Structure 1
Amino acid sequence: MKMNTMLDVKRYSIFIVAASLYVLVLPALLSYPVTSVAAPTVREFSRLAHLDVPNGTRLEETIVPDIYAFRFRSNVHHKCAQYLSGDYQFIANQGGKGWRYLKTRSPVSQADAATIGKRIASAARPLTIKMGPAGKRDAFILISGVDCGFCRNLERQLHQEDIAYRVVPVMLSDENRDLVEAVWSAVDPSVAWSTIMSGKEANFPKSMEHRRYPWEAFHDMNCMMGGGAPIAIFPNGDMVFGKGILPRIAHQR
């Protein structure tokens, strides 16, 4: 009889604990915010942005994680798409105004811009051409145009200063696409790029592991940062343009 009483007490205690957990945990589970992992849609973007998106618009993933490209029918050749973050917070290239908050259209904060810059740099790094002294830490990633005179002068100065960096090779005109692709598929892309950027002409031996030039990936990354060249992305995510690059390097030394 005593044993039965003890078992009943234990069962009752377990029941009380279970009931208490149910009362405490269930409301917390029900109130926990549910986040969507679905990719953004053209319709939802149109609603949030209060824009009539033209028929035929495609929304595609880019090489940069969680950044999507709106490709309109007019996005041909070197014309930039518009870019949207997967959480609908940020948009780029709407009217050529850089990264902005979708809701307010105001420029993103320095911290948010740096976060975007780091994302772009992380995606770009495996595709870049290593430049400068071997074994030296890269100072930044540089989007540089094969047909950009300012880029040539900048890289000449970087070489003179023995600065290590990585290049995303682009072209400002489609006429120079063959040249960039030849550099990209060369046995030694860094030597090929240095040769071209120094103004010399050369035929480069192709690598047996010929890689297809990732035109769309590079074009998207360039457009995400405003287009044009040169543009540098520093380790902290800061994106610096043109004449501001050398002063920024000098400041870091």
Structure 2
Amino acid sequence: MKAGIRKWLSGGIACLAFAAAAIAAPDEAAPAWKADVAAARATFERETGMALRPGFRIEPTVFPRYYALRSDAPGRPSAYFRDDMKWTANVRSPGWSTSDAAEGSAEGLLRWQRERVQALPLERLVKVKRRTPFVAVIWSAPDCPFCRKLERSLEEAGASVYLVPVGLSADGFRRSAQVYCSADPAGAWRAAMGEGPAAGGGPAREGCRYPHDTMVDIGFFLGRGRLATPIVVFADGSSIVGWDDERGPARLRQVIAGGPAFPDR
């Protein structure tokens, strides 16, 4: 366990190289749940047998009971743990680890995923309203070619979604930050993806800060540790990573026809 911690602190995790080119994170809004960072840190240090080193900090994620171990060094990815340390990600070793056998089963994993989906801060995401109810949450990037394919499918189906805008590169994150803080985020996103007027979005909202860490955290949890774009998550907890011309659109039509939808917040 201690060796795994030292490896993370010294060398980073290859599977999180996606976030390495990200822009520096601004101040993040407090999560909706009551986090106890001091208690989480004490549990982390007790279970790992190591004091938190200078240059690292523990912060709550938007998911109740789950915390991120972050570095002050630009581009270094986060590790994650639950407050009981029975679930960790990139802490004891690269990837996910759980000591709860129920969470390791297919049924348990779906239940875990559904709970994370229910905890999503929809009010902090970008609402892209089309004709349907909000049928999905998408984790998507303007510099991702498969994300553009997804956008075409959403436009054709008239599917309303909540958007978590991120980037595959520093430029992608910069463009997503512009979308997030636009006076018309949905219009700015559709313009960025080539599905709306080039001038869509208008000026930036005064005082808006793009919550970089939160956006990346959401992708890590919804992608079950796989930071690949796009990620499409439906209200029943099921998800699709990537997007093709057959399976993805077919599932989208199925959900629109009779699947559950997210609330309009």
TM-score, length-normalised on structure 1? 0.69
Deviations 1:157-197 (A, max 9, x none): 11111122111111111123332222122221111100111
Q: Which amino acid aligns with 1:110?
A: E
Contact 1:64 1:120 in 2 (8 A): no
Q: Which amino acid aligns with 2:63?
A: V
Selected match of 2:123 from 126, 147, 152: 126
Selected match of 1:90 from 74, 84, 87: 87
Larger radius of gyration: 1
* Structure-1 residue corresponding to 2:208: 211
Q: Give the secondary-structure state (helix, strand or coil) at the position aligned to 1:123.
A: coil
Contact 1:58 1:71 in 2 (8 A): yes
Alignment CA distance shift 1:133-1:179 (3 Å): same
RMSD: 3.1
C-alpha deviation, 1:247, in angstroms:
4.4
Q: How does 1:1-253 map to 2 (within 5 A)?
A: 39=37, 40-42=39-41, 44-45=43-44, 47-48=46-47, 55-56=53-54, 57-72=56-71, 76-77=74-75, 79-94=76-91, 97=95, 99-102=96-99, 107=104, 109-120=106-117, 122-134=119-131, 136-198=132-194, 202=199, 204-224=201-221, 225=223, 226-243=226-243, 245-252=248-255, 253=257
Contact 1:127 1:168 in 2 (8 A): no
Q: Which amino acid aligns with 2:79?
A: Q
Gap runs ≥5 in structure 1: 1-36
2: distance between equivalents of 1:202 and 1:90?
45
Q: Which amino acid aligns with 2:83?
A: G
Q: Give the secondary-structure state (helix, strand or coil) at the position aligned to 1:141.
A: strand
Alignment CA distance shift 1:113-1:93 (3 Å): farther
1: distance between equivalents of 2:144 and 2:50?
36
Alignment CA distance shift 1:247-1:119 (3 Å): same
2: distance between equivalents of 1:108 and 1:46?
28
Alignment CA distance shift 1:111-1:249 (3 Å): farther
Gap runs ≥5 in structure 2: 1-34, 258-265
Alignment CA distance shift 1:173-1:96 (3 Å): farther
C-alpha deviation, 1:63, in angstroms:
2.4
C-alpha deviation, 1:154, in angstroms:
0.9
C-alpha deviation, 1:129, in angstroms:
1.7
Deviations 1:19-45 (A, max 9, x none): xxxxxxxxxxxxxxxxxx955544533
Alignment CA distance shift 1:155-1:178 (3 Å): same
1: distance between equivalents of 2:228 and 2:90?
13
* Higher normalized contact order (CA 8 Å, seq sep 6+, divided by chain length): 2
C-alpha deviation, 1:201, in angstroms:
5.0
Alignment CA distance shift 1:156-1:66 (3 Å): same
Q: Give the secondary-structure state (helix, strand or coil) at the position aligned to 2:119.
A: helix
1: distance between equivalents of 2:138 and 2:250?
15
Deviations 1:202-240 (A, max 9, x none): 474225555211112112212233212111221122333
1: distance between equivalents of 2:199 and 2:105?
44
